[in-house]
Structures are given as C-alpha cells and as structure tokens.
Structure 1
Amino acid sequence: MQSVPEKGDLVRDAATGQVGFYVASVAGRFRIRCVNGGGEWEADPADVQLATPLRELRARAAEINARSRRGLGT
C-alpha cells in the first residue's frame, strides 16, 4: 500500500486474504481489527490495500449483523 489508511478504513491483507478495519500503525506494522468484532492482527503494510467497494459493503453488513447479535444496535 502506498500510504497509511485512515483509522476505520476497510482494508484487505493480501498475505492472508482477510478483510478488516485499519486501527493503527505500530512499530512499522499495521494493526487491523476483524470485521465481526473479533481480535486484531498485524500485517505488513506492503500487503495491505484498501478493500474494493463490494468487499466493503459485505464487511460493513457483517459488522452490523454481528453488533445486532450482541445487542449493540447500529
């Protein structure tokens, strides 16, 4: 990825195929939070790219559904 995404941007980790929300850059690595509210993982910035609009739509729907199941609303 050429630049650092903004906090909350949906990104794809090409090394793992996972999609998540960018959290921060720590010690030269990107911290990414699972879409469904699970844990975070670290990724090499070179492997991270902004998610496509379709992936973003799917991920945001998954996040809303997960929050609903936990009773957190939208």
Structure 2
Amino acid sequence: MQPEPEVGDLVRDTTTGQVGFYVDSVAGRFLIRPVHGGREWEADPTDVQLATPLHELRARAAEINARSRRSLGP
C-alpha cells in the first residue's frame, strides 16, 4: 500500500487518467484539484498514485498550452 500523498503532491487518478494536486482526504476519499484549476474531484485512495516525472511533465505542458490558448482567445 502506498503512503498517503502530502498536500500539494501531484497525483494521478488511475481510474480516469487525470493528473492533479492532492488537496485533502475527506470521509475516506481523496480530493484532487486539476492542474489547470477548476472543480476538485474525489477519488478512491486505492486508485491514486504519485505522478511519475513523465505524468508531471505532460500535465505541466498541458497547463502551459491551456494558458497560451486562453491568452490568444478573442
């Protein structure tokens, strides 16, 4: 069993493939905030793992690309 992540750790929800920041544990569920911001989602702790460097790189690149698209918008 993996140790519980610390607040701010980048984690991956293996059920959805989403990567986000660990926020808290509430009622036995993990709260995870999307890298790009937005609504947190809940995940079963058994479905969450610390993000690998590759997952982190992809998430950070996606965040940069999203910011770039927003700044180019109408």
- Normalising by structure 1, report the TM-score: 0.79
| Structure 1 runs not aligned, ≥5 long | none
**Structure 2 counterpart of 1:23, which letter?**
V
Displaced runs of 4 or more, over 4 A: 64-71
Q: Aligned partners of 2:41 and 2:19: how far apart in 1?
A: 11
- Name the SS of the counterpart of 1:60 in structure 2: helix
User: What are the superposed Cα offsets for residues 36-72 of structure 1, whole Å, 9 maximum, x if unpaired?
Assistant: 111100000000001110111221333355567778x
How many residues matched?
71
| Structure 2 runs not aligned, ≥5 long | none
| Native 8 Å contact 1:19 1:34 kept in 2 | yes
1:38 maps to 38
| Native 8 Å contact 1:37 1:66 kept in 2 | no
Work out which of the two has the higher radius of gyration on C-alpha atoms and give 1 or 2. 2
Percent identity, aligned pairs only, is 82
- Name the SS of the counterpart of 2:62 in structure 1: helix
| 1:18-29 paired onto structure 2 within 5 Å | 18-29=18-29
Q: Aligned partners of 2:14 and 2:31: how far apart in 1?
A: 14
Q: Aligned partners of 1:24 and 1:13: how far apart in 2?
A: 14
The verdict on how the C-alpha distance between 1:57 and 1:70 changes in structure 2, with shifts beyond 3 A counting, is same
- Normalising by structure 2, report the TM-score: 0.79
